[in-house]
Amino acid sequence: MKKILKARGYNVANDHWMLDRFISVAYFALINYNDVVPKPDALSDSCTWYNINELPELILDHKEIVEKALNSLRFNLNQKLIGMNLLPQKFTMKQLQQVHEAILGEKIRRTSFQRKMLSLDILRRHGKQFSGNAHKAPFLYSFKK
């Protein structure tokens, strides 16, 4: 920390509070990252989005904090309407599956996923989404309130 502060032009004494122990408080939120522009603070060189599998080296125990948040998100994936903030109001089953696959970090069989989602009774089915293509048009869904 002393190196970081010195590089930023701060002259700190050896007993400065920034050189003591820290308690980290972390929050996570599901957002559309295209709608948010990260901005670095006074001590950061940069601030940007990273793929969860390509994180740079993190300070202190922050890697474990990220892993805990990801595990919590994965554990609660089916208990909460996780995709609600990540999808348009009406979406296809494929779009919902892509959100789940991104969070879980693995591919899911389409038929198994659809059967599971419909059995949870959290979706309302709407008309088909016609795209003008010759293939079968998918149904649109929304989350039940």
Q: Hey, which CATH number is domain 80-145, 3.40.190.10, 1.10.3720.10, 1.10.10.10, 3.40.640.10?
A: 1.10.10.10
Every domain of the chain with CATH number 1.10.10.10 lies at 80-145
- Measured distance CA(103)–CA(52) in Å, rounded: 9
Instruction: With beta carbons less than 8 A apart as the criterion, state whether 142 and 89 touch.
Output: yes
- Measured distance CA(41)–CA(55) in Å, rounded: 19
Q: Is the pTM of this model over 0.75?
A: no
Q: Which residue do the tokens 């939120």 mark? A: 29
Instruction: With beta carbons less than 8 A apart as the criterion, state whether 83 and 32 touch.
Output: no
What residues are paired with 140 via a beta bridge?
A: 92
On the question of pLDDT at 131 being above 70, the answer is no
43-89 pLDDT per residue, tens? 777 789 988 889 998 888 899 999 999 998 888 886 666 667 788 88
